[in-house]
Amino acid sequence: MAVPNQNENPDPSPDRRTAIAELLRRIAPVAGELGDRFAAAGHELALVGGPVRDALLRRPTKDVDLTTDAPPQRILELIDGWADAVWTIGIDFGTVGLRKAGVELEITTYRSESYDPKSRKPEVSYGTSLVEDLRRRDFAVNAMAARLPGHEFVDPFGGLADLQRKVLRTPGRPEDSFSDDPLRMMRAARFASQLGFTVAPDVVRAMTDMAGRIEIVSAERIRDELSKLISGRHPREGLALLVDTGLAAHVLPELPKLRLEIDEHHRHKDVYEHSLIVLEQAIAQEEDGPDLVLRLAALLHDIGKPRTRRFEPGGRVSFHHHEVVGAKLARKRLTALRYPKDVVADVSRLVELHLRFHGYGTGEWTDSAVRRYVRDAGPLLSRLHKLTRADCTTRNRRKADRLRRTYDDLEARIERLAQEEELAAIRPEIDGNEIQEILGIGPGPLVGKAYRFLLELRLDQGVIGKDAAAAELRRWAAAEGVGAPEDGSEDGGTEGGDA
C-alpha cells in the first residue's frame, strides 16, 4: 500500500537511511528471506516500532518486531519448516514468535485493540493496512516502519520529525490512544525517562484528565513499566510526569504524599524533592548499569515520613521511626505491584536500615556495633553504603564533608574487621553439630538457642577461638540449667530439644 502523501512520509537523511540499513543488515539474511516468503504468498511484512526508532537514534536494540497483514494462522503456515523454533504464547493477541539462525523475531498481525471501561483485557481485532496499524500505536516515534523486502521507509505520522525534536506525540488524539490502552500513559513517562524526551502538552493534558483509567490495567503491566522508568537514564523526568499528571496517585501513591507542606520557617526539607535527589545521587554511584533495588530503595527510603511527622515544642519537626514505618509501606506497595519476593525483601530492608549509620556519631560505635551493622545488612551492605551516602543532600558544605568523612571511617573499620575476621560471613566459631556434641544434646530448639548465644558472643568479642567459645557455651548452658556440665563429663543435663 502506498503511503498517504510525501509530506507525511519524508525521506530520512542519508545518515538515517544508513542506520536503518545497518539494522536490516544485522538481521539479514533472516529478514530478507522472511520478506521474500511473505511477498511470494501475497502478504505484506514490515520492520516496525521500537527497532526502527532505536536504529534512527543509534541506540542498541534487542527486539526485532515485524508486522504483517497475514493472520496468525497464516503466519504459522508461512514459517513452518523455515523457522528453527516457534512459540505461540501471544497468538491470542496476534503475535507469533520465532527463532532463525540465532535471531529472535516477533511477527504481529496488523491490529487494533481497545479496552472495555471495566475490563483489564484488551479486545483485539485484525486489520489489513500498515498505515492503520501504525495509527493505533502509542507514539509517533514508534509508528515508523521499514517494508520488507525493499526497505521502504514508512512514516505517516511524523515520527522522524519527533525524534529530531525529542518530543512524544500520539499518532491520533491522545484521548483515543489512552482509551484504547491506558498503560500508554505510563509508557509516556517511561519514554521520558529512557529517551529524555519531553511530552507534548496535549498528551500531558490527556494523561491528567484520564489518570484514573490506569486502574483497569493489571499490576504486573504497571510494575513492568515502572521498573523500566526507574531504570532509565532520566528517571526524575518520568517520575515527575507521573506525579504532576496524577498517575502516581494511582500506581505509587506514596510518592506524591512526600510533597509535605512546608511551613514559612522551612523547618524541614521538601521530602519529595529530597527523595529525587537521593535517587540521582544513588544512580551516580552505580558501577554495572541500573540497579533496580538500589533505585527503588532510594526513591522510597523516606515514604514513612508523612505518617510519622510530628510538630515538637520550639518549632521542631520530627519523623521518629519513619524508617520502620517506611519499610512496612514499601513492602506493602511493592507486593501490591507484584514485584518478586526478593526485590520486596531487599528494598524494604534497605529502607529499614537507611538511618542506622546516624547512630555512629563521630565513631563511637564499638567493634561489636560495627559487626552488627554488617550482619544486619548482609548481602545488601554495598547497596546500603551507596544509599547512606546518597541520603546526604545538605547544602551545608561543612556538614556534608563531615558526614562523608565519618562514613569513610566506618567503611574503613568494616574493611579492617573484614580482613581480620572474615566479616562478610559472620557466624559462630562452633556449628550446630559441635553444639550438640559439647552439650550432649540432640537436635531441637535448644540447639538454635545455643547458636544464637554463640552468634551474639561472636559479634561482641570477635574471634576468640573454639576452645574459648566452647567454654563460654558450657557456662551459658550451666546458667540455663541444660546440657553437659562445664568439666565436660556426661552426667547430668536434660533431654535434647526439651529446654
**239-291 tens-digit pLDDT:** 999 999 999 999 999 999 998 755 444 444 589 999 999 999 999 999 989 99
CA distances from 449 to 79, 326, 462 (A): 64, 31, 19
- Sign of the CA dihedral 204, 205, 206, 212? positive
pLDDT at 487: 45
Average pLDDT of span 141-161: 91
Q: How many residues does the chain have?
A: 499
Angle (CA) 69 75 80, round 5°: 155
Kindly list the distances between the CA atom of residue 351 and the CA atoms of 297, 321, 384, 487, in Å, as whole numbers in the listed order.
6, 11, 9, 47
pLDDT at 262: 53
Instruction: Compute the Cα dihedral for 285, 288, 294, 299 and give only its sign.
Output: positive
Instruction: Please state, as a whole number, how many other Cβ atoms lie within 10 Å of the Cβ of residue 286.
Output: 12
111-120, 163-172, 359-368, range with greatest mean pLDDT: 163-172
Which residues are CB-contacts of 484 (< 8 A; sequence separation ≥ 6)?
438, 439, 440, 474, 477, 490, 492, 493
Q: Cis peptide leading into 428, omega within 30 of 0?
A: no
pLDDT beyond 90 at 5: no
In the chain, the N- to C-terminal Cα span, in Å, equals 83
Q: For the chain, what is the radius of gyration of the CA atoms?
A: 30
Would the pLDDT of 369 be above 80?
Answer: yes
The pLDDT, as a whole number, for residue 119 is: 61
- Say if pTM beats, i.e. exceeds, 0.75: yes
Instruction: Please give the domain boundaries of the chain with CATH numbers for all domains.
Output: 6-163 (3.30.460.10), 166-252 (1.10.110.30), 273-423 (no CATH), 428-499 (no CATH)
Could you report the per-residue pLDDT of 180-239, keeping only the tens digit for each? 899 999 999 999 999 999 999 999 999 999 999 999 999 999 999 999 999 999 999 999
Which amino acid is residue 409, in one-letter code?
D
d(CA 447, CA 439): 9
Are 190 and 242 a contacting pair, CB within 8 Å?
Answer: no
What are residue 87's DSSP bridge partners? Answer: 97
Residue type, 290: P
Residue whose C-alpha cell is 548482609: 378
pLDDT tens-digit series, residues 431-467: 888 888 888 888 888 888 888 888 888 878 878 888 8
96 — phi, psi (to 5°)?
A: -120, 130
What does the alpha-carbon distance between residue 237 and residue 195 come to, in Å, rounded to a whole number? 10
Residue 208 has a pLDDT of 98
pLDDT for 394 equals 82
Q: What are the φ and ψ backbone dihedral angles of 213, each rounded to 5 degrees?
A: -65, -20
User: SS in 3 state form for the chain?
Assistant: CCCCCHHHCCCCCHHHHHHHHHHHHHHCCHHHHHHHHHHHCCCCEEEECHHHHHHHCCCCCCCCEEEECCCHHHHHHHHCCCCCEEECCCHHHCEEEEEECCEEEEEEECEEEEECCCCCCEEEEECCCHHHHHHCCCCHHHCCEEEECCCCEECCCCHHHHHHHCEECCCCCHHHHHHHCCHHHHHHHHHHHHHCCEECHHHHHHHHHCHHHHHHCCHHHHHHHHHHHHCCCCHHHHHHHHHHHCCHHHHCCCCHHHCCCCCCCCCCCCHHHHHHHHHHHHHCCCCCCCCHHHHHHHHHCCCCHHHHCEECHHHCEECCCHHHHHHHHHHHHHHHCCCCHHHHHHHHHHHHHCCHHHHHCCCCCCHHHHHHHHHHHHHHHHHHHHHHHHCCCCCCHHHHHHHHHHHHHHHHHHHHHHHHHCHHHCCCCCCHHHHHHHHCCCCCHHHHHHHHHHHHHHHHHCCCCHHHHHHHHHHHHHHHCCCCCCCCCCCCCCCCCCC
The one-letter code for the residue type at 206 is: A
Average pLDDT for residues 484-491, to the nearest whole number? 45
Of residues 299 and 265, more confidently modeled: 299
The average confidence (pLDDT) of the chain is: 85
Q: Who has greater pLDDT, 352 or 447?
A: 352
- Angle (nearest 5°) at CA 224 between 220 and 230: 140
187 touches 225 (CB < 8 A): yes
Residue 247 burial by CB count (10 A; 0-12/13-18/19+): exposed, middle or buried? buried
